[in-house]
Structure 1
Amino acid sequence: MARQGLDALDGRMLRLLRERPREGLLEIARRLGVARGTLQARLDRLTGSGVVTGYGPDVDVAALGHGVQAFTTFEVDQPAREAITARLRAVPQIIEAHIVTGPGDIWCRIVGVSNQHVQQVIDHVLEVPGVRRSTTVIALSTVIPHRVQPLVDEVAGLLGDQETHLR
């Protein structure tokens, strides 16, 4: 995917949409000092180009009773990777998965109600033909939750001189 350029208005709009998801576009446009149609056109452009991918609420999995989080790497037989990926999608406790380089082949973020529950999820995946072994670490605490706004701010040129820029 080509890099999507963002300007400062795009960045401020995305920040307000994340900070105030229940506020209407008319109110956000008023806060930004632009017409509602301008805001809608920018949002449509960012949605159409794949920058904006959703509008749903953020959900805290710990508040759903799944307070244990683990990061697991599965080593798999490469010819079986597509079938394994399809099986991983069917496991609700696997909330993220990526094909990776280095040791291991598929990296997963798994949540569970207990360490034993996470172990059951891992054991379930290890039963899938083509999955050879796993390596798991349990997260003790979250110091930086999933976020994208600082990156949006940087791409949109909204970071001040005090912020760290890596390019």
Structure 2
Amino acid sequence: MAAEHSVQLDGLDVSLVELLTEEPRIGVLECSRRLGVARGTVQARLDKLVGRGAIDFGPDVAPAAIGFGVTSFVTLEISQRHGHDPVTAHLAAIPEVLEAHTITGTSDLLCRIVARSNADLQRVIDQIVANEAIRRASTTIALAEQIPYRTLPLVRSTVH
């Protein structure tokens, strides 16, 4: 989720995010104890970060661990007369589409999708391209994850 307002992080914010990244089930009281600040301070910082969309809470599900071992990236070229909204609605209805981004270049959308197998990937792609507004799709299968999705190094870089 994109933040509507830029959130400036200070050392305490970064320490709080680091602690929650390393131990996501830790409570506010334990955070305050470890960081050496009042419980109300930790809660206020969390409320600010959540309220501005900088962080969120929820389970981080690993698709491969629940049977979706194939990850691929699909670029889509869409008919400009239809626009992005109908295609986005179509993609949102497909559970295997994990994310979609409008992009620059020769394609219009980039999607990350998962499937149970290569044969299942064909089914997912067929479902994606069934929309009449999608003119062309190009799929790249990910062989191995070299750097998992991460934000902590970015968060750490914000404090000078």
Q: Give the TM-score, by structure 1 length.
A: 0.90
What is the number of equivalent residue pairs in this alignment?
156
- Work out which of the residue numbers 119, 122, 142 in structure 1 matches 2:145: 142
1:93 aligns with 2:96: yes
Contact 2:72 / 2:112 at 8 angstroms: preserved in 1? yes
AA at the equivalent of 2:27: G
- Correspondence for 1:63: 65
Contact 2:68 / 2:117 at 8 angstroms: preserved in 1? yes
Aligned to 1:10, the other structure's residue is in SS state helix
Q: Which runs of 4+ in 1 moved over 6 A?
A: none
What displacement does 1:130 show?
0.8
1:156 aligns with 2:159: yes
Aligned to 2:77, the other structure's residue is in SS state strand
AA at the equivalent of 1:27: E
Q: RMSD over aligned Cα, in angstroms?
A: 1.0
| Cα deviations by residue, 1:35-68 (Å, 9 ceiling, x for unpaired) | 110000011111111212x211111100000000
| Cα deviations by residue, 1:63-102 (Å, 9 ceiling, x for unpaired) | 0000000000011012322111001000000001101000
How many Å separate the matches in 1 of 2:117 and 2:140? 14
Identity within the alignment, %: 48
How many Å separate the matches in 1 of 2:64 and 2:11? 34
1:40 aligns with 2:43: yes
Q: Give the TM-score, by structure 2 length.
A: 0.94
How many Å separate the matches in 2 of 1:149 and 1:78? 37
Gap runs ≥5 in structure 2:
none
- Correspondence for 1:76: 78
Q: Which moved more, 1:66-75 or 1:115-124?
A: 115-124
What displacement does 1:2 show?
3.8
- Correspondence for 1:119: 122
Gap runs ≥5 in structure 1:
158-167
How many Å separate the matches in 1 of 2:6 and 2:27? 28
